[in-house]
């Protein structure tokens, strides 16, 4: 179960314990902050709580509908969802199935810490203001108003400071449980703090609504927690959404092309990729979020991340509304640091100057422009991107070699790998994003090359001749240097370079195939890379492509690094983000007539889809884990992060499996193998939408 409304909140707990308990009783993301719960709902009959059993869960229009049955004959249907303006809503339909009249109470309650601003008791509702924070990350200033707003009758409970207690959704632990009646405050006022406050104490706050039901009677009531963001540098309250589409579900899917395919595994993966865009999208206006964009995932990844943003741009370009895809680009370059560095992550109230990721900005921007050409976007970001290119040159290539440095094992997004320990045996102990070593990275150098080459084309288009000439000179230097200095003829792959010894590291990493997607390698190098990629002793595992060669001394497909299973290991797991880049590279050369590249592209796509479609799990539920076991294709379920966007699967599926390309403002029939029959209705291209389908091998494109 995952719920979102396109605002800044997401209910997708990593390790759910109380998913079927009434209310929002499990882990929730409020922007980048993680809270253990939002609120609980408890039910009282004659003043005493009664247990309910969840007997059914289904999803309808992005909402979870749960059926709770009590032993006393009361059946409660809860419709749970998050609105576009960040309201956590539980709509209850309470049915008295017994033959006796019931005097019921519904209690909405929660707990909070004792250190922050006192809870405000407001007659029929209550309010909690807190600056939510995970570790040293910038805080999320929240003002959460808890209420039952559908009609009069709700009353605020007297809040209490209490020692001890747990995070269980158990009404028996509350201070109201053993009272003769539900206590209410005498007036609207904040809760007074006792003195002294014992460490480990918490505040219990809540409200209740009496419900009298005759035999067979029904009643409907709504409970919600409305999150508003207000604090230093942030003051944001979203507009109320259309009551007929509060979570934006219908509006979003109207902008999504519908896809049907003879290969149902592919069909499930495509549907799931669009579902991820629905769940992880976020609006703009709050703090630094100057444009709409997407978060990378659930849990600690619930914020826009530079590492994943270019891939998300490629996924989001298939939406009819290009504002989200463009926003992925603009939101980062609107928040460029003073020195020209792109922040690694964006938070509502700030950035971290040491946080940085190398990312394929050029590839993402170029792909977006192929479907949604827009000079205004180019002009809006060109100067900022030029500053970033200059920062890369000054800080990651100070000697002007044309190659790009990686200075810790986090900033390439590929920690815990022999790529780094080969130049510094303590590289895996680095404090996040602080400089510890210097390594000329093949992936970072390719990303820089693609960005500079694309910016040259942009500068030419908008008549910035001097800028275009500077970019062209840099393109030539990078291409020649990567091709000559980073190629290892003996191994048949591009490698990182140790700048201190000026020698290649002799580590065969999967990112060494990234140049395939460019014109950097010559034909001899392409043939050698494809031969190495297809080697069953090196990279062609049962579920390829492992992040490091299987012959490497540190290879471990189970994700163990030095005896410990890591959350993000890069010493042998199969990562969809890597497969996306390799598939793009194979396609590049398949289009140029390389038969082996054509064959490998389809095989790799089929095996990647098998991992992500649910087939290997024996289910019909597609998944999006960060990484997978190359031996059996099982995903990193142990991470709890099962909503993850850093691969561009839609591009690869439509290009390789469906056999069409988007070029020069049109859809072209260009299969690079046996294309599947499919129907894609409402595919966006510029400001138009097309129906594209293939039947019996023949492609047809019709303007809607």
| Buried-exposed string 605-644: b where 16+ CB fall within 10 A, e elsewhere | bebbbbbbbbbbeeeeebbbbbbbbbeebbbbeebbbbbb
pLDDT for 432 beyond 80: no
Q: Which helix (H) or strand (E) is 699 found in, with range?
A: strand 698-703
* pLDDT tens digits, 281-298: 999 999 999 999 999 999
Residue 30 tokens read as 């409020």
C-alpha 265/C-alpha 603 separation (Å) is 14
Q: Please, what is the average pLDDT of the chain? A: 95
pLDDT for 687 beyond 80: yes
* pLDDT tens digits, 600-647: 999 999 999 999 999 998 898 999 999 999 999 999 999 999 999 999
Q: What number of other Cβ atoms are within 10 A of residue 197's Cβ? A: 13
Residues written for the chain: 704
**3-state SS class at 356:** coil
CA distance readout (Å), 172 to 24, 169, 184, 485 = 18, 9, 18, 69
The alpha helices in 116-222, defined as continuous H runs, are none
Q: What is the pLDDT confidence band of residue 653, given thresholds at 50, 70 and 90?
A: very high
**pLDDT score, position 282:** 96
Let me know if 99 is exposed, middle or buried by CB neighbors in 10 A (0-12, 13-18, 19+): exposed
Task: Tell me the angle at which helices 309-316 and 361-371 cross, rounded to the nearest 10 degrees.
Answer: 10
All structural domains of the chain: 3-236 (2.70.98), 255-703 (1.50.10.10)
**3-state SS class at 425:** coil
pLDDT for 151 beyond 90: no
Which residues are CB-neighbours of 490 under 8 A, at least 6 positions away?
A: none
Which residues are CB-neighbours of 30 under 8 A, at least 6 positions away?
A: 8, 9, 86, 132, 140, 142, 227
**pLDDT score, position 186:** 86
C-alpha 465/C-alpha 373 separation (Å) is 20
Which residues are CB-neighbours of 428 under 8 A, at least 6 positions away?
A: 409, 415, 416, 420, 421, 561, 562
**pLDDT score, position 232:** 84
Q: Which helix (H) or strand (E) is 586 found in, with range?
A: helix 576-590
Which of 71, 41, 40 is CA-nearest to residue 55? Answer: 71
Q: What is the pLDDT confidence band of residue 412, given thresholds at 50, 70 and 90?
A: very high
**pLDDT score, position 197:** 78
C-alpha 704/C-alpha 317 separation (Å) is 18
Three-class secondary structure assignment of 219-277: EEEEEEEEEEEEECCEEECCCCCCCCCCCCHHHHHCCCCEEEECCHHHHHHHHHHHHHH
C-alpha 424/C-alpha 505 separation (Å) is 11
The pLDDT of 443-453, averaged and rounded, is 98
**pLDDT score, position 136:** 86
Residue 350 near residue 233 (C-beta atoms within 8 A):
yes
CA distance readout (Å), 605 to 139, 161, 291, 610 = 41, 57, 33, 9
pLDDT for 164 beyond 90: no
* pLDDT tens digits, 397-406: 999 999 999 9
pLDDT for 430 beyond 90: no
**3-state SS class at 420:** helix
**3-state SS class at 498:** strand
pLDDT for 526 beyond 90: yes
* pLDDT tens digits, 302-329: 999 999 999 999 999 999 999 999 999 9
**pLDDT score, position 193:** 82
| Percent of the chain clearing pLDDT 70 (strictly above) | 100
Task: Tell me the angle at which helices 442-461 and 375-396 cross, rounded to the nearest 10 degrees.
Answer: 140
pLDDT for 578 beyond 80: yes
Q: Tokens 């190495």 label which residue?
A: 532
C-alpha 335/C-alpha 350 separation (Å) is 9
C-alpha 27/C-alpha 295 separation (Å) is 17
Residue 683 near residue 672 (C-beta atoms within 8 A):
no
Which residues are CB-neighbours of 398 under 8 A, at least 6 positions away?
A: none
Which of 534, 518, 535, 644 is CA-nearest to residue 584? Answer: 518
Residue 149 near residue 222 (C-beta atoms within 8 A):
yes
Q: Which helix (H) or strand (E) is 523 found in, with range?
A: helix 523-533
* pLDDT tens digits, 77-115: 999 999 999 999 999 999 999 989 999 999 999 999 988
Let me know if 199 is exposed, middle or buried by CB neighbors in 10 A (0-12, 13-18, 19+): exposed
pLDDT for 199 beyond 90: no
pLDDT for 218 beyond 90: yes
Task: Tell me the angle at which helices 523-533 and 576-590 cross, rounded to the nearest 10 degrees.
Answer: 140
Three-class secondary structure assignment of 609-650: HHHHCCHHHCCCCCCECCCECCCCCCECHHHCCCEECCCCHH
Which residues are CB-neighbours of 489 under 8 A, at least 6 positions away?
A: 528
Residue 36 tokens read as 């253990």
Which residues are CB-neighbours of 599 under 8 A, at least 6 positions away?
A: 673
C-alpha 73/C-alpha 57 separation (Å) is 19
Which residues are CB-neighbours of 528 under 8 A, at least 6 positions away?
A: 489, 492, 493
**pLDDT score, position 319:** 97
Residue 476 tokens read as 């030539």
């Amino acid at each position: 179960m995952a719920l979102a409304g396109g605002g800044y909140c997401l209910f997708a707990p990593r390790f759910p314990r109380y998913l079927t308990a009434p209310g929002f009783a499990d882990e929730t993301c409020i922007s980048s902050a993680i809270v253990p719960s939002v609120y609980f709902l408890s039910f009282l009959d004659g003043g005493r709580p009664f247990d309910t059993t969840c007997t059914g869960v289904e999803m309808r229009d992005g909402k979870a509908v749960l059926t709770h049955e009590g032993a006393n004959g009361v059946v409660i249907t809860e419709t749970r969802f998050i609105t576009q303006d960040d309201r956590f809503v539980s709509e209850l339909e309470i049915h008295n199935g017994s033959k006796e009249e019931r005097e019921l109470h519904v209690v909405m309650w929660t707990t909070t810490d004792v250190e922050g601003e006192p809870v405000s008791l407001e007659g029929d509702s209550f309010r909690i203001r807190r600056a939510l924070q995970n570790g040293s990350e910038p805080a999320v200033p929240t003002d959460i108003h808890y209420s039952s707003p559908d009609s009069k009758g709700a009353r605020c409970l007297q809040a209490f400071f209490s020692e001890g207690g747990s995070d269980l959704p158990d009404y028996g632990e509350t201070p109201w449980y053993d009272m003769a009646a539900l206590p209410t405050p005498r007036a609207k006022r904040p809760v007074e703090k006792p003195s002294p406050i014992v460490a480990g104490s918490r505040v219990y706050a809540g409200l209740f609504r009496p419900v009298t039901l005759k035999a067979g009677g029904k009643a409907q009531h709504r409970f919600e927690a409305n999150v508003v963001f207000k604090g230093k540098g942030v003051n944001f309250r979203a507009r109320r959404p259309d009551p007929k589409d509060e979570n934006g579900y219908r509006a979003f899917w109207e902008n999504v092309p519908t896809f049907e395919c003879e290969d149902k595994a592919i069909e499930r993966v495509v549907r799931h990729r669009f579902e991820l865009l629905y769940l992880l999208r976020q609006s703009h206006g709050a703090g630094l979020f100057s444009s709409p964009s997407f978060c990378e995932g659930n849990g600690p990844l619930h914020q826009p991340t530079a590492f994943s943003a270019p891939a998300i741009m490629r996924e989001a370009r298939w939406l009819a509304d290009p504002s989200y895809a463009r926003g992925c680009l603009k939101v980062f370059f609107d928040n460029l640091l003073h020195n020209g560095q792109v922040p690694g992550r964006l938070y509502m109230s700030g950035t971290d100057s040491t946080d940085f990721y190398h990312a394929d900005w050029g590839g993402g921007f170029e792909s977006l422009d192929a479907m949604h050409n827009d000079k205004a976007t180019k002009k809006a970001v060109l100067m900022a991107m030029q500053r970033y290119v200059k920062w890369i040159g000054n800080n990651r290539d100070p000697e002007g070699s044309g190659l790009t440095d990686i200075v810790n094992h986090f900033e390439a997004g590929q920690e815990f790998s022999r790529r780094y320990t080969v130049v510094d045996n303590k590289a895996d102990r680095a404090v996040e994003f602080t400089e510890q070593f210097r390594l000329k990275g093949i992936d970072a150098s390719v990303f820089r090359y693609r960005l500079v080459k694309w910016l040259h084309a942009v500068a030419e288009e908008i008549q910035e001749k001097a800028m275009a000439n500077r970019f062209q000179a840099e393109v030539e230097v990078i291409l020649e240097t990567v091709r000559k200095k980073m190629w290892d003829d003996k191994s048949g792959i591009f490698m990182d370079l140790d700048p201190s010894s000026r020698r290649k590291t002799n580590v065969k990493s999967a990112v060494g195939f990234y140049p395939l997607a460019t014109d950097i390698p010559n034909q001899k190098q392409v043939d050698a890379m494809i031969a190495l990629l297809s080697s069953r002793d090196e990279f062609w595992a049962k579920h390829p492509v492992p992040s490091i060669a299987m012959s490497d001394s540190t290879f471990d497909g189970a994700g163990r690094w030095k005896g410990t299973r890591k959350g993000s290991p890069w010493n042998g797991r199969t990562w969809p983000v890597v497969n996306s880049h390799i598939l793009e590279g194979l396609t590049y050369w398949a289009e140029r007539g390389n038969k082996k590249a054509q064959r490998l592209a389809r095989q790799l796509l089929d095996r990647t889809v098998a991992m992500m479609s649910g087939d290997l799990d024996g289910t019909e539920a597609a998944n999006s884990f960060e990484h997978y076991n190359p031996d059996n294709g099982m995903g990193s379920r142990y991470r709890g992060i099962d909503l993850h966007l850093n691969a561009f699967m839609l591009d690869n599926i439509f290009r390789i499996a469906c056999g069409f390309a988007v070029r020069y403002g049109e859809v072209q029939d260009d299969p690079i193998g046996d294309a599947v029959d499919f129907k894609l209705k409402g595919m966006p291209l510029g400001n138009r939408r097309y129906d594209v389908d293939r039947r019996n091998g023949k492609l047809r494109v019709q303007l809607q």
